[in-house]
Structure 1
Amino acid sequence: MAEKGTIKFVNLERQFGFIRSESGEDVHFRLQVVRDPYQPENLKKGTLVTFEAQQAAPGSRGPTARWVTIGTPARADNTETTGELRPQVTAATQTYRFLNPYNFVRPLFVYNPNAGTALGDCPPPPHDRYVGLTGKMSCRLTATTPLFVSDSHGVTREAVDKGRQHLRYRFFRTPDDEAIAIPGTSLRGALRSTFEAVTNSCFAHFAGGKRLSYHLPPGEALKLVPARVRQNGTQWQLELLNGMTPLAPGQRPSGAQYAAWVHTYDPLWASRTVALAPRSGYARRPKLSLSGWQHGDECQALVEHVKHPAKHFEFWNVVALAKPGATLPRPTAQQRLISGYLCITNQNIENKHDERLFFHHGGAPTVVDLPKPVRDRYRELIQDYQERHTDDVKRLKSPDRPHGKTPAFSRFVILQESRNLENGDLVYARLARGGRGLTVEYIVPVSVPRLGYDQTIGDMLHPRDLQKCSDYDHLCPACRTFGWVWGGESEEKKQVPPLDKPTAYAGRVRISHACRITENGSFDATLAILSTPKPTTTRFYLAPKQGKPRDGLDDAAVGYNNRGQQLRGRKVYRHHGARLNPQEYESVRQGPDGKPKKSDQNRTVHEVQNAGTEFEFTVHFENLAPPELGALLWTLEFEGWNHRLGFGKPLGFGSATIRVTALELCNAATRYSSLTDERQNALDHKADWVDEFKQAMAERYGSPFDQLDNVQDLRALLAESPDLSVHYPRPTRQPHPDGKNYEWFVGNKRSGRDAGPRYVLRVAVDDDEGIPLLDRFGKEVRS
């Protein structure tokens, strides 16, 4: 029942506070339960709020708030039992909406560190003696949507367009190659992920040191200055090559662009500028062949001044090019003779027509120091470029050349050694002028580049103690139960492991293969293309530290550089259930035979197991504390909700429920005093251990188990079939043969006068209304 009160106290850093109710009782609340809309500054002493209290959790100091709103609800007739305002939906406003395939499970803040210590960080038990609960359990897994787990053997290749290969996979089989099965490693991975989420364990597989990147806005890119790296022993410097235009640090050049243009390519997309002004000096520039030239080559050139007919900026255009010392034509009155270095990055965008020539004309060039942090950030940036395109580069025989209308890859994307700066490398630099003169803020490889965010992924994790476990004496519940190895991420491999402590711990849970026991038919499918995760889609991956995500904010407010933002939590692909639609998982491109078209980017899977197929497997466990065994049992049976495993989870494949059918405990004294391996039937005690786990979680995190944020998010994503269709954002109701999902994101994040709606992904527990279709202009598409 809703009550009124005022804020008595709030701690924004620890994300909790107290409400003084009208009855005079103090009610604890967490910032995560405050409903939209609100700003952190609204949460101050004396603010009027409406809330609903719930029963005090065991071990807590009093009642807690289930939800809180600032002020009072404006329309009592439009609220549900949660008190959350819901929009009115009428026939005039109703449009097609959909749910994103993934959302996130929020991490928890410890409310009472002295409670539920078996679910905190501590040393693991030994393996050389029995000190806890040991035994085994039998489990039955039932597929609730089509299920496919790939076998590493039996992969076949089929030749498709232009010599490319389409891969075909079969379902995993047992080592004797006879029985369809789910490998124990797949089960272990899925179960550990759920166990980590529900016990609030560390983010074990987490590249915390990685720095993501974003596209530098074109206006900012114009402020970059061409430069050449100079190394002399341990001293690193930049030679600034600003052409014939005075340096303007942090500003656009006041005259012609710094680098000269070398007209080299016919654009893959026809030039609109040339079409609009075919008689202009810009359109009549001759093309120069760069055959025999390499990136970084020293050269001399004749250049002449050109003005862009549409955008009206000025630049120097190369009309003749020669090796140093070679003869060039005599310059005309409008031409200049210059010396410099060729910057060749390949035809890496569709409308690219020019390469660049870096030069400095008139006097000695300015030289500035190139500090190590800037060099390190450059290496991280090039590594990010290369990781983004690794698979695409491997797939092509000549990735340095365009393929049809598809552009080539940049030189530094193809060449692994490009991530390490060397003497003579050509870069673009962002400069700043300070009290000590010019300084370098960052360097990039191209004129319109990606740029690394200031904060790493690890900097965005909140609370910070959820970083991957690094100390044997302080392991989280998941690392103690499933195992732990020190290090593991690239940035950690450079560190020296501790010599006075163990650096690994074997897990106390072993999971067998799950063998099929009940068949329900199977099918083959050529699947839609699955792309890699896009964590730079910040409106979906990040959320504010205080409050909930809000629509309409600009890119800076929702980006990785904003210290008020944090990672949303653990990524989970939602259960599609009855909403599973073949048009979403099958390739929509049709071949000449009318069947889904095969390419080198999609996959064909064979023997996909239909919903209703059943499997059995065994879990052996040792030395578990009662709350740990309860956590494992809860994770397995999962309240009847759906686990997600195997291939094609974003498309709806891979949902399954698990039921524990037998549970036996080993009595160490009896075992060693008997010739038989006698075990005690403990299935009737299953609920007791689960209840002990739930009580420990409630005591430690300050709310009844069912009301914890992580549990609510898991329920919202994995319990029931959703009411809306599930697919990635796109501009059309039906999947487009050419994809074009990117148009939704282009339209959504538009800025300026015709800004897009800038929709964010709702918190999982609130994500039930869906989002609309958008075109590339940010306009809602009514279907």
Structure 2
Amino acid sequence: MTTYQHVYNPDQKEYPQTSEIGDDVLVDSRIPQNMIINWTLKPRHLTRQGNTKGIYYVMGGKDQYRWMPKNRDGSPKKKHDLFIPWPSDFEKRKRLPVDEKDISIFNALLVKRYLDSKNDAPFMPVGYGGRFQGDRPQVVRSGDLVYFDVDDAGEQVTELSYSAIWRKPVGNLYDAIGKIDSNLLPWNPDRKALTPAEALFGVIEKGADGGRIDDHAHNLASRLRFHDAQAEGKVTLPAEAQTLKILASPKPPSPSLYFRDSHGVYVSKQNLDLSKHVPNGRKRYLPHPNWRQTGQNGKKYWETRSNENQHQKLRVRPIPEETTYRFHIGFENLSAAELTLLRRAIEPGEGFQHQLGLGKPLGLGQVKVVIEEMKFIDRSTRYSLAGWKASRYSDAVRFEEDKYLLDPQALETLLHLGRPGSLAEATPVCYPFDEIGGQRPYNETEGFKWFVTNEKVRPASLKQHMKGAETSDNLPTLESLHSISLSLNIRGRGPKNIVQKIKGKLARKWPCCHVDKVDLRIREVVLLVRKAGIPGVMDSLETPFQFDVGNAHITVSKT
């Protein structure tokens, strides 16, 4: 159940959100209550039916109503705006209790969103801004207008939100990673051993809250020194900056990408619980097959083709392709096993491409790193009489690989991810797209559509989640679902819920498909299937399929 309600404080008689445009907000009464409306009427507009008192609820705008962008006629451009008529019997209506714990959870989510976005306030209702100041901001306040959900009995409020789409706490990511291996967490007082990478690069101990420990901290200096890379020759950057496509990767938790249960099975967003479910592992962007391509308009693949959401897109002047840089790494007191690990991190294997800098999801920053030579200093000779006038580096030192610290399976997986040939031919490298919703590969808008479709489909066999990188076959992919249309014939009169009845019958008949739509007007049934399964599904659909719903006789057949 989701609806509107005013969290009311008897001691506070003012109604929020009306002060921006007056205590009486007037709209055409022909507009249904609680419907999202377009701003076609000015505030205080008198209708033929008279005045209607209520609350005008606007999402967005940072607390300045006049800040909102305007259309040509001067009306605000806004997508989320509602008029909520104020009931005359409001004072007599039943109050639903709200637990302080739920208010605290809601407040904590808002503050976390604010901090995660580098002090950029969440999308808040107009009039509710300026609430994130101080060490412990109280964003949720008495008198706020909110969306809410209730328990099964309808007696207790269980969740709150300022919009119809809300977040819920799913647990602590830090603890979820620690359950896989405590050594995956930053160096802290509870850790007992260093990883090989930490032993090479050094560590600074963090407290339980992630803050730095100043007294009695266990820190370790790095034994590596990375020096600046110098270009070979002059590097000429493009004269004009170029606009990238949006670099908007799905943010955690997004369980279909980032989490799984203990059996590696799909976890829905609704059921995600970090006390039970675990992260998939480290994310790595794949080598991009299209990054060199130029379209008919002269734009590179990674340049935007859309004028929407320009404020979310970055402008760059990328370094030209085939530019060569040289740099060196100083190391000291490394064992043979540690030096072997460092060399394989720099050169994992033939054909491997590293990724540096901005635009990795779009194929930018793909680089090949080559070790040209390794030089050693023999300290005992260096500081002897014989070494006084000798070269700094010694030819007498011989290095033999020690693979003790190498994990062969991990190395093979890394190579598999970093080689362009690991992708099946013609596989688009992009975030998943929803072909049913009209999207195509490299779509630039509404990146959430695939995830919405993936959540709603039944049966569970159609739900997809990102699997680990297998080294024996091509890299795993996420498919866009495809539709199969069937004709629907109805004879006789069925019950009011005939559509639901038909869906249930078809779901039981063809459990490999998701019954997406039953359209009585055009007599059509639409099934959703995975692309790879279309031939098998079409063969398995035994049609015509005939059944009765009430007094109606239904026939479903292939078109």
In the superposition, the TM-score normalised over structure 1's length comes to 0.46
Inter-partner Cα distance in structure 2 for 1:363 and 1:771? 49
Q: Is the Cα–Cα contact under 8 Å of residues 522 and 608 in structure 1 kept in the other structure? A: yes
1:346 alignment partner, one of 50, 59, 65: 59
Superposed CA deviations along residues 686-726 of structure 1, whole A, max 9, x for unmatched, are: xx23xx2x3344xxxxxxx33x2x33331221024333231
Inter-partner Cα distance in structure 2 for 1:509 and 1:530? 32
Secondary structure at the aligned position of 2:245 is classed as coil
Matched, 1:666 2:377: yes
Q: CA deviation at 1:451?
A: 2.8
Corresponding residue number in structure 1 for 2:319: 608
Matched, 1:380 2:84: no
Corresponding residue number in structure 2 for 1:513: 228
- What code does the residue aligned with 1:625 have? S
What is the correspondence of 1:371-410 to structure 2 with a 5 Å cutoff? Answer: 371=101, 374=102, 376-386=104-114
2:448 alignment partner, one of 723, 729, 742: 742
Q: Is the Cα–Cα contact under 8 Å of residues 26 and 52 in structure 2 kept in the other structure? A: no
Inter-partner Cα distance in structure 1 for 2:98 and 2:456? 37
Q: Is the Cα–Cα contact under 8 Å of residues 462 and 529 in structure 2 kept in the other structure? A: no
Corresponding residue number in structure 2 for 1:626: 336
Matched, 1:652 2:363: yes
What is the correspondence of 1:216-235 to structure 2 with a 5 Å cutoff? Answer: 219=1, 221-222=2-3, 226-227=6-7
Inter-partner Cα distance in structure 2 for 1:534 and 1:729? 14
Q: CA deviation at 1:568?
A: 0.8
Corresponding residue number in structure 1 for 2:394: 680
Count of equivalent residues: 431
Q: 1:510 to 1:533 in 2, by over 3 A?
A: farther
1:420 alignment partner, one of 138, 144, 150: 138
Q: CA deviation at 1:635?
A: 0.6
More strand by share: 1
Q: CA deviation at 1:510?
A: 0.9
Q: Is the Cα–Cα contact under 8 Å of residues 717 and 764 in structure 1 kept in the other structure? A: yes
Superposed CA deviations along residues 401-433 of structure 1, whole A, max 9, x for unmatched, are: xxxxxxx86655764239425764637566769
Q: 1:751 to 1:441 in 2, by over 3 A?
A: same
Inter-partner Cα distance in structure 2 for 1:474 and 1:508? 17
Q: CA deviation at 1:654?
A: 1.3
Superposed CA deviations along residues 300-334 of structure 1, whole A, max 9, x for unmatched, are: xxxxxxxxxxxxxxxxxx9337xxxxxxxxxxxxx
Superposed CA deviations along residues 39-75 of structure 1, whole A, max 9, x for unmatched, are: xxxxxxxxxxxxxxxxxxxxxxxxxxxxxxxxxxxxx
Inter-partner Cα distance in structure 2 for 1:353 and 1:645? 46
Corresponding residue number in structure 2 for 1:177: none
Corresponding residue number in structure 2 for 1:117: none
Deviates more, 1:353-362 or 1:764-773: 353-362
Q: Is the Cα–Cα contact under 8 Å of residues 150 and 156 in structure 2 kept in the other structure? A: yes
Greater relative contact order (Cα < 8 A, sep 6+): 1
Q: CA deviation at 1:743?
A: 2.6
Q: Is the Cα–Cα contact under 8 Å of residues 645 and 654 in structure 1 kept in the other structure? A: yes
Q: 1:474 to 1:605 in 2, by over 3 A?
A: same
Q: 1:629 to 1:672 in 2, by over 3 A?
A: same
Corresponding residue number in structure 2 for 1:235: none
2:431 alignment partner, one of 728, 733, 736: 728
Q: 1:282 to 1:288 in 2, by over 3 A?
A: farther
What is the correspondence of 1:703-718 to structure 2 with a 5 Å cutoff? Answer: 705-706=407-408, 708=409, 710-718=410-418
Superposed CA deviations along residues 511-557 of structure 1, whole A, max 9, x for unmatched, are: 111112268987574322222542232101112223x345xx65445
Inter-partner Cα distance in structure 1 for 2:93 and 2:270? 40
Q: Is the Cα–Cα contact under 8 Å of residues 749 and 757 in structure 1 kept in the other structure? A: no
Q: 1:581 to 1:460 in 2, by over 3 A?
A: farther
Secondary structure at the aligned position of 1:624 is classed as coil
Inter-partner Cα distance in structure 1 for 2:58 and 2:226? 50
Inter-partner Cα distance in structure 2 for 1:279 and 1:574? 50
Inter-partner Cα distance in structure 1 for 2:274 and 2:467? 19
Q: CA deviation at 1:567?
A: 0.5
Q: CA deviation at 1:449?
A: 4.7
Inter-partner Cα distance in structure 2 for 1:391 and 1:368? 28
- What code does the residue aligned with 2:110 have? I
Gaps of 5+ in 1: 1-218, 231-238, 242-261, 267-273, 292-317, 322-341, 394-398, 401-407, 591-596, 698-704
- What code does the residue aligned with 1:714 have? L
Q: CA deviation at 1:759?
A: 1.9
Q: CA deviation at 1:606?
A: 2.3
Inter-partner Cα distance in structure 2 for 1:541 and 1:413? 33
Deviates more, 1:599-608 or 1:651-660: 599-608
2:288 alignment partner, one of 576, 586, 597: 576
Inter-partner Cα distance in structure 2 for 1:240 and 1:343? 19
Q: 1:485 to 1:378 in 2, by over 3 A?
A: farther
Q: CA deviation at 1:617?
A: 0.5
Q: Is the Cα–Cα contact under 8 Å of residues 526 and 602 in structure 1 kept in the other structure? A: yes
Identity of aligned residues (%): 17
In the superposition, the TM-score normalised over structure 2's length comes to 0.62
Inter-partner Cα distance in structure 2 for 1:682 and 1:609? 40
- TM-align CA RMSD: 4.9
Inter-partner Cα distance in structure 2 for 1:459 and 1:240? 41
Corresponding residue number in structure 2 for 1:320: 53
Corresponding residue number in structure 1 for 2:523: none
Corresponding residue number in structure 2 for 1:468: 186
Corresponding residue number in structure 1 for 2:277: 565
Inter-partner Cα distance in structure 2 for 1:585 and 1:482? 34
